Amino acid sequence: MVMIMNQALLRGFALVRRVATRRSVLAVAIALPAVLVAERSGAQGVINRLWDDVTGRSSSASPATPASPPTAAPPSQGAPQPQAAQPAAPATTAQAAPPTLPTIPVTSPRTQAVGETMTLTGNAAAVNKVKLVARVVGYLEQIHVPDGAIVRQGDLLFTIQKAQYEAQLRQAQAQLQLQRAALAHATTEVARYTALVRRNAATQVEVDNWVYQRAAAEANIIAAQAQIDIAQLNVDYTQVRAPFDGQMGRHLFDPGNVVGGSGQDAILGEILQLDPIYVEVNISGQQAQQVRANLDQRRFTLAEMQRVPIEVQLQGETGFTHRGTLNYVAPVIDSTTGTLFVRGIMPNPNRTLLPGMFVNVRLPMGRTLQSALLVPQRALQEDQGGRFLLVLDQNDVVQKRYVQLGPLVGAWQVATSGVNRDDRIVVGELWRASPGLHARPQPTTVAE
């Protein structure tokens, strides 16, 4: 056994010297233990393959005389025999499988004629808003409707103490009856004294006096009738009624308070008309000039203007679902703000819009874009550079395109620049798609 080990060491050192002339010390250190193990197991082929791995050449290029396997001494009884080393499998270079490309949904731009519009931020306003004022002095007797109630025109809202005003009305009516009686008496006396004057039984002065009394009675009748009208108005003012269909605000006085006194704010409450409702915006002077240029400087008549459609979108809504028409355009531009006041009106039966609510208003600009390119809104993204789309180029590589946008058309939006008719726009897997990614396109239909 000792002789076999010595022979293996000698051949190992000889191999080491050969390796050291061609490889680094590290290769020697790696080769030596393997040589020893291989010699012990009698695996000359392992040594040859190890030599090929270290030198980088085929063992057939360097002829080597295969060493005869040493004659092993017969094993002693009961001594453990070393296990023969298994020959290493030949190294093979495996071909790497091609990577699987991610599937990206894409769609093409749409082409259609679109009316050019502008979208502005405005607010809703009540068509009518009235402060209900106590026009006579008295105790507030009763509130007939709760706060926030929907009322009709003529509904009774507040009642003020009216006993004194009803008494004043009866007094004025009595004065009227008195003056009518005076007129009748004066008329009779004028006729009597006129007859007496013709018989020289009375003087003309007496006739003139009764003529005067008759004329005064006629004037007093007119004054008495006016007093009746005033007294009736005061009685009517004790009942505060709704001037139009609307919604009540909160009341500002409780029953039992004296209202309508001098030097006192006599506002009992407020009522607003919410159906229909106004939407108000201010457009810049430049936009106003653009609209006029689109219309060839032609001014709309009032009837034409009130047929111009407008669309409104509430904050948080995805589309312009509320529609109305223009109602008023200011004749001048505000010199302090450089803007033009524009007002629209629209039905509001469910009171979806409330006064003071901020809304987005879309107004037509008087021009139609022929063959406009529309892109899906859901494909639009935004960063510090602006709004952009992701598209697949001819090599199916994702590219980033910044775009200029125009009016909205449902779930699509006009792109005035940055996109071509043949582009394939990424509409899904946006979290995965990034510029430079190689992907497999999957044509997809975008819902309207």
User: 160-217: per-residue pLDDT in tens?
Assistant: 999 999 999 999 999 999 999 999 999 999 999 898 888 888 888 998 999 999 999 9
By 3-state DSSP, what share of the chain in percent is helix, strand and coil, each rounded to 5?
30, 35, 35
Q: In 3-state terms, what secondary structure has residue 86? A: coil
Closest to 143 (Cα-Cα) out of 266, 261, 256, 262: 256
| Alpha helices per DSSP H over 106-203 | 163-198
Q: Write down the pLDDT at residue 23.
A: 46
State pTM to two decimals.
0.58
Measured in whole angstroms, the distance separating CA 87 from the mean position of its chain's CA atoms is 74
Chain CA centroid to CA 263, Å: 47
Print pLDDT tens along the chain (448 aa).
Answer: 445 445 554 555 455 455 444 444 444 445 445 444 444 444 455 555 655 555 555 444 444 444 444 444 444 444 444 444 454 444 444 455 566 888 889 998 988 887 777 888 999 999 999 999 998 999 999 999 999 999 999 999 999 999 999 999 999 999 999 999 999 999 999 999 898 888 888 888 998 999 999 999 999 999 999 999 999 999 999 999 999 999 999 999 899 888 887 766 688 999 999 999 999 999 988 888 888 777 765 677 778 878 888 999 888 887 788 999 988 988 888 888 889 899 999 999 888 999 999 999 988 877 777 778 889 988 999 888 899 999 988 888 999 999 988 777 778 888 888 888 888 999 888 888 888 888 888 888 877 6
What pLDDT digit, counting tens, does each position of 81-117 carry?
444 445 444 444 445 556 688 888 999 898 888 777 7
Cα gap 288→271, rounded to integer Å: 35
Among residues 245, 272, 280, 276, the alpha carbon closest in space to that of 348 is found at 276
CA–CA separation, 82 vs 68, rounded Å? 19
Q: Give the C-alpha separation, 222 to 99, whole Å.
A: 106
Q: What is the DSSP letter of 448?
A: -
Q: For residue 71, what are its two tokens?
A: 């004659």
Specify the pLDDT at position 52. Answer: 59
Tell me the C-alpha to C-alpha distance, in Å, between residue 109 and each of 26, 425, 434, 444. 63, 7, 20, 12
Residue 448 confidence (pLDDT): 63
Whole-angstrom CA distances from 398 to 54, 176, 393 are 46, 96, 7
Per-residue model confidence (pLDDT) at position 347: 93
- CA nearest to 206, candidates 220, 219, 192: 192
Give the up-direction half-sphere exposure of residue 43: CA atoms within 13 A in the CB hemisphere.
16
